[in-house]
């Protein structure tokens, strides 16, 4: 095998794709319906690198490739999550602070347990960084301790359980995901006959129901044509109106207006047509539905938007992105014009928008390199957190002048997955090369006990606080666990178990920046003790 390892050591690109390909193959193997997914790439890389080290061969993918993969991953996660991140930030400030609190408790536990186990402070700092799987925290601990060896040994011994333990925590969080109360609701369409005598307006009804419903078609009187609904329309006795939204809200507005009609306006294509259209023209992306003013432009309206695999109600303040699939209701003779205006090309699903990718990554890496002063030293948030923050901001903005600042959902997911696999392969080969030296230390068993304790404290603390205090569903909690651990392998595992449910990425992005900063600061503090 030494010749094979020597050949792979001389071919880092080949090594990268061998690890990605074989690791992904292993990740597809499932036991009782559970597989490792992309996390298998990390474990295979650790095993191969450690095996090669036993022959005296350094089988390691370059750090530059790992940084490229990680920053691509975090930037695209930010782009995908930005639209919903800031809207949920205010109501999620308490969980974010709770994440920082759990990490602080784990650091205090590490200090106390480390003293009981007779471990030196630099080793404890590295073991804590490995248990929470955070390389920037290791770097901070090494700088503060003035010792590169002891923290690295502690990190290498505890890192593997830091990943495995959190995979177990994610599995526990997802056991009851079917009972999550924050799942995206299934949308229904219903035609309602109006019996109310108070002539409510469509705008008033939509606002009363928190913009969770959308009126798409209306017919005033038996002989009138069907047309797209306008906010200013007043609904009078015997009008027919089509309402779209979650079943509970549709049922409520039906009782409020009258009863379900046997007529189905959406089935009548004499006057209006309906079509799913892909947003691929940049003129439509980055704008809210209200800003497009489709009613006056084409006599058209949008009732639903599909982003990824999720349908949502097309509210006026919903911001469209390239790759979104919109359900358009328009006059038959103008439907082709509407489709042309939106672009309706599969290119909208795959355009990686190179300007956004290049300039956004540049801004994120520069932000990560900025040094912030703290008492006695300075620290930087790192390129991973920097690109995530920039991605979140750009994803929220949607457009800056003529430049679209959001990437199509499918393109962003594809780039993120590729970046994740590259990073996992590099991180695994790096950790594997260090494991041999780490386990020659006579203190390795005590270090491992400390790491298991720290990882368990973080996992149990997160589960109890998020589930019992904040009543967060298991699906979103799995993303929060990955984000708190700042561990892409945990996110990949959660995505694989949930079929890339959007709540996983949102939970991950919500806590990742705060967790990253907290770990760097705590790593410096522990290293300086």
CATH code of the domain containing 247: 3.30.70.1450
Residues 81 and 161 both lie in one domain = yes
Question: Does the residue 19 lie in any domain?
Answer: no
How far, in Å, CA of 378 to CA of 374, rounded? 5
How far, in Å, CA of 162 to CA of 482, rounded? 11
Instruction: Pinpoint the alpha helices (H) of 287-353.
Output: 289-292, 294-298, 335-342, 347-350
Residues 164 and 193 both lie in one domain = no
Q: Is the pLDDT of residue 458 over 90?
A: yes
Residues 139 and 273 both lie in one domain = no
- DSSP category for residue 468: I
The residue that leads in pLDDT, 296 or 454, is: 454
pLDDT, mean of residues 374-383: 68
For residue 299, CA distances in Å to 35, 154, 496 come to: 50, 66, 42
Among all chains, which residue has been given the structure tokens 């074989």? Answer: 22
Residues 161 and 123 both lie in one domain = yes
Sign of CA dihedral 20, 79, 159, 432: positive
How far, in Å, CA of 347 to CA of 239, rounded? 41
- DSSP category for residue 201: B
The residue that leads in pLDDT, 50 or 218, is: 218
How far, in Å, CA of 38 to CA of 24, rounded? 6
Residues 471 and 436 both lie in one domain = yes
> What does the mean pLDDT of the chain come to?
83
pLDDT band at 436 (very low <50, low <70, confident <90, very high): low
Structure tokens at 18: 């061998």
Residues 413 and 509 both lie in one domain = yes
pLDDT digits (tens, 9 = 90+) for 249-269: 889 889 888 888 888 887 777
Between the two ends of the chain, the Cα-to-Cα distance in Å is 44
pLDDT, mean of residues 307-328: 81
pLDDT, mean of residues 358-363: 92
> Are residues 260 and 292 in contact, defined by beta-carbon separation less than 8 angstroms?
no
Among residues 296, 319, 349, the one where a domain terminates is 349
| Enclosing domain of residue 169 | 73-180+359-527
How far, in Å, CA of 454 to CA of 138, rounded? 15
> Are residues 189 and 244 in contact, defined by beta-carbon separation less than 8 angstroms?
yes
pLDDT, mean of residues 354-369: 89
pLDDT band at 460 (very low <50, low <70, confident <90, very high): very high
Domain count of the chain?
2
**What proportion of the chain, given as a percentage, has pLDDT over 70?**
91
Question: Does the residue 5 lie in any domain?
Answer: no
> Are residues 353 and 407 in contact, defined by beta-carbon separation less than 8 angstroms?
yes
The residue that leads in pLDDT, 27 or 129, is: 129
- 109-113, 148-152, 293-297: which has the highest mean pLDDT? 109-113
pLDDT, mean of residues 175-200: 81
Non-local (6+) Cβ contacts of 476 within 8 A are 180, 182, 503, 504, 506, 507
Can you give the pLDDT at residue 441?
64
Residues 231 and 89 both lie in one domain = no
pLDDT band at 206 (very low <50, low <70, confident <90, very high): confident
Angle in degrees, 0-180, between the axes of helices 93-116 and 121-131, rounded to the nearest 10: 140
The residue that leads in pLDDT, 177 or 456, is: 456
Residues 368 and 292 both lie in one domain = no
pLDDT band at 108 (very low <50, low <70, confident <90, very high): very high
Which of 64, 75, 71, 72 has its CA nearest to residue 16?
Answer: 64
> Are residues 486 and 132 in contact, defined by beta-carbon separation less than 8 angstroms?
yes
How far, in Å, CA of 292 to CA of 74, rounded? 31
Angle in degrees, 0-180, between the axes of helices 502-527 and 382-397, rounded to the nearest 10: 150
Least confident of 389-393, 406-410, 437-441, 510-514: 437-441
Residues 238 and 102 both lie in one domain = no
Can you give the pLDDT at residue 459?
94
Residues 98 and 224 both lie in one domain = no
How far, in Å, CA of 242 to CA of 211, rounded? 15
pLDDT, mean of residues 29-55: 74
Non-local (6+) Cβ contacts of 164 within 8 A are none
Question: Does the residue 292 lie in any domain?
Answer: yes
Question: Does the residue 364 lie in any domain?
Answer: yes
Which of 170, 287, 290, 276 has its CA nearest to residue 230?
Answer: 290
Query: 172: helix, coil or strand?
Result: helix
Can you give the pLDDT at residue 31?
65
pLDDT, mean of residues 320-342: 87
Which pTM was predicted? Answer: 0.68
**What proportion of the chain, given as a percentage, has pLDDT over 90?**
11
pLDDT digits (tens, 9 = 90+) for 123-175: 899 899 889 987 767 767 776 777 756 787 787 788 878 888 998 999 999 98
How far, in Å, CA of 40 to CA of 190, rounded? 46
Can you give the pLDDT at residue 139?
66
Consecutive H or E run containing 381:
none
Strand-strand pairing, 258-260 and 187-194? antiparallel
Question: Does the residue 12 lie in any domain?
Answer: no
Structure tokens at 298: 């084409």
pLDDT, mean of residues 268-276: 81
The residue that leads in pLDDT, 360 or 3, is: 360
Torsion of Cα atoms, 69 then 72 then 75 then 78, to 10°: -80
Which of 340, 342, 335, 343 has its CA nearest to residue 298?
Answer: 335
**Number of C-beta neighbours around residue 146 at 10 A:** 9
pLDDT, mean of residues 18-36: 75
Question: Does the residue 1 lie in any domain?
Answer: no
> Are residues 46 and 162 in contact, defined by beta-carbon separation less than 8 angstroms?
no
Can you give the pLDDT at residue 45?
85
Residues 156 and 99 both lie in one domain = yes
> Are residues 105 and 416 in contact, defined by beta-carbon separation less than 8 angstroms?
no
Can you give the pLDDT at residue 150?
74
Among residues 349, 374, 402, the one where a domain terminates is 349
Residues 162 and 233 both lie in one domain = no
Among residues 307, 325, 349, the one where a domain terminates is 349
């Amino acid at each position: 095998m030494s010749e094979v390892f020597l050949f792979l050591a001389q071919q880092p690109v080949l090594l990268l794709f061998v690890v990605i390909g074989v690791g992904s193959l292993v990740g597809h193997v499932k036991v009782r319906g559970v597989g490792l997914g992309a996390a298998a790439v990390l474990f295979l890389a650790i095993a191969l690198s450690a095996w090669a080290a036993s022959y005296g061969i350094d089988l390691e993918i370059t750090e530059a490739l790992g940084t490229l993969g990680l920053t691509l991953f975090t930037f695209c996660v930010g782009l995908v999550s930005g639209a919903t991140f800031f809207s949920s930030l205010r109501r999620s400030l308490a969980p974010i602070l709770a994440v920082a609190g759990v990490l602080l408790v784990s650091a205090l536990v590490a200090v106390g347990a480390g003293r009981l186990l007779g471990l030196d402070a630099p080793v404890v700092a590295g073991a804590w960084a490995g248990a929470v799987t955070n390389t920037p925290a290791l770097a901070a601990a090494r700088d503060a301790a003035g010792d590169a060896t002891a923290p690295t040994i502690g990190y290498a011994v505890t890192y593997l359980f830091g990943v495995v333990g959190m995979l177990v925590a994610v599995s526990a969080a997802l056991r009851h995901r079917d009972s999550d109360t924050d799942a995206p609701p299934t949308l229904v369409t219903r035609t309602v006959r109006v019996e109310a005598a108070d002539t409510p307006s469509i705008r008033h009804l939509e606002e009363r129901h928190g913009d969770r419903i959308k009126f798409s078609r209306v017919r005033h009187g038996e002989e009138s044509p069907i047309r797209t609904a306008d906010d200013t329309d007043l609904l009078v006795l015997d009008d027919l109106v089509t309402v779209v939204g979650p079943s509970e809200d549709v049922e409520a507005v039906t009782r409020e207006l009258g009863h379900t009609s046997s007529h189905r306006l959406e089935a009548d294509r004499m006057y209006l047509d309906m079509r799913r259209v892909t947003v691929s023209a940049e003129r439509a992306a980055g704008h809210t539905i209200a800003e497009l003013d489709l009613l006056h432009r084409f006599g058209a309206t949008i009732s639903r938007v599909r982003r990824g695999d999720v349908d949502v109600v097309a509210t006026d303040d919903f911001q469209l992105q390239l790759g979104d699939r919109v359900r358009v209701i328009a006059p038959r003779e103008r439907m082709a014009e509407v489709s042309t205006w939106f672009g309706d090309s599969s290119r909208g699903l795959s355009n990686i928008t190179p300007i956004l990718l290049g300039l956004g990554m540049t801004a994120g890496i520069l932000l990560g390199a900025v040094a912030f002063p703290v008492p006695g030293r300075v620290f930087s948030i790192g390129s991973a957190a920097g690109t995530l923050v920039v991605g979140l901001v750009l994803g929220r903005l949607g457009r800056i002048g003529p430049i679209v600042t959001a990437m199509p959902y499918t393109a962003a997911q594809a780039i993120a997955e590729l970046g994740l696999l590259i990073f996992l392969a590099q991180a695994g080969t790096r950790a594997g090369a260090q494991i041999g030296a780490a386990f020659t230390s006579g203190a390795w068993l005590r270090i491992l006990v400390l790491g298991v304790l720290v990882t368990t404290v973080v996992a149990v603390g997160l589960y109890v606080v998020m589930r019992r205090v904040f009543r967060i569903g298991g699906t979103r909690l799995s993303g929060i666990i990955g984000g708190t651990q700042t561990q892409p392998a945990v996110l990949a595992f959660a995505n694989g178990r949930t079929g890339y449910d959007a709540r996983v990425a949102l939970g991950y992005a919500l806590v990742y920046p705060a967790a990253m900063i907290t770990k760097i600061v705590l790593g410096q503090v522990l290293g300086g003790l």
